[in-house]
Structure 1
Amino acid sequence: MERRLFERLTAHFPVKFRDTSLDYGLDVFLKDISASGLRISTRERLFLNDYVTLDVKLPDGQDPVPLSGRVCWVREAGPRLYEVGLQFQKVNLVRMHRITKYAMAFSGN
C-alpha cells in the first residue's frame, strides 16, 4: 500500500511547458496533483532531475497557473508517451487552492 504525506487528487487539465510554442494539451496533460508534486502525461522526453515550469490552464478563464518542479521519475506509457512525476520545490498555497478547487469539482474527489 502506497502511503503519501499529502492527498493526491485526480486532475485532468491541459498544460503547456513554459517558454515553448507547444499549445495547451497537445503534448502535455496534468493527471494528478498533491501539495508536494504532480504527475503529467507528455510526448516530450524528460530526464531525472530536470527542472521544468508548467502553465496549467483551468476552466475559470483566468491566467494559467505556473508550477515548477524537479523531475523525480519518468516511465514510458506508450510509443512516444511518458508519465512524469514532478516534485515541487516551493508550494504557493493560492495557486494550489485554485487547482485543487477545480480538481475536486470536476473529478468528484
Structure 2
Amino acid sequence: MERRRFLRISVSLPLKFKKIRYVTKEGSISKDLNIQGIRFLSQEFLPVSTNIKVEIKLHKDKEPLRFIAKTLWIKSRGENLYEVGAKIIEISKEDVKILSELNFKDI
C-alpha cells in the first residue's frame, strides 16, 4: 500500500547533486519528484543517510530549484549505475511553492 501523502510525478529532468562537505558535483537525471522527495539515477554510490545538495533545472530561462535531501535507499541498476530515493529535508518556501504548483506537462 502506498503511504505517500503527495503524488509523485514521473519526470525526467537533468539535475546536479553533491554530497555535503564535498567539492565535486555529479550530473544525473531525475525519475520522479514531489515536495517531499526525489528519485534519481546516479553513477556514484551514495550511502543511506547521506545529505546531498540538489539542483534541478526546470526551465532553461529560470533559476534551478535547490534543496538539501537525505538518501533513504539505493538500488544497483547495473555497473556504476544506481537508483536513489531521497527525502527533501531543507528547501526554501519559494521552491516549495514552485514544486507544489508545477505542471510537469509544461516541461
Class of the TM-score when normalised by the shorter of the 2 chains: 0.7 to 0.9
What corresponds to 1:84 in structure 2?
A: 84
1:21 is displaced (CA, Å) by: 4.9
Q: If the length of structure 2 is used for normalisation, what is the TM-score? A: 0.80
Q: If the length of structure 1 is used for normalisation, what is the TM-score? A: 0.78
SS class of match (2:74): strand
**Partner Cα distance (1:16, 1:60) in 2:** 14
Bigger relative contact order (CA 8 A; separation at least 6): 1
Deviations 1:4-49, CA, capped at 9 Å, x for gaps: 1111111211001245354xxxx41111112211101111110010
| Number of equivalent positions | 102
**Partner Cα distance (1:45, 1:39) in 2:** 14
**Partner Cα distance (1:5, 1:104) in 2:** 21
State whether structure 2 residue 24 is matched by structure 1 residue 20. yes
| Compared CA separation, residues 66 and 91, structure 1 to 2 (3 A) | closer
**Matches for 1:1-109 after TM superposition, within 5 Å:** 1-18=1-18, 19-22=23-26, 27-99=27-99, 101-106=102-107
Unaligned runs of 5+ in 1: none
Structure 1 runs, 4 residues or longer, greater than 2 Å off: 18-22, 90-94, 96-100, 102-106
SS class of match (2:94): helix
* Structure 2 residue identity aligned to 1:50: T
1:91 is displaced (CA, Å) by: 4.1
Say if 1:58 and 1:102, in contact at 8 Å, map to a contact too: no
Say if 1:39 and 1:84, in contact at 8 Å, map to a contact too: yes
SS class of match (1:98): helix
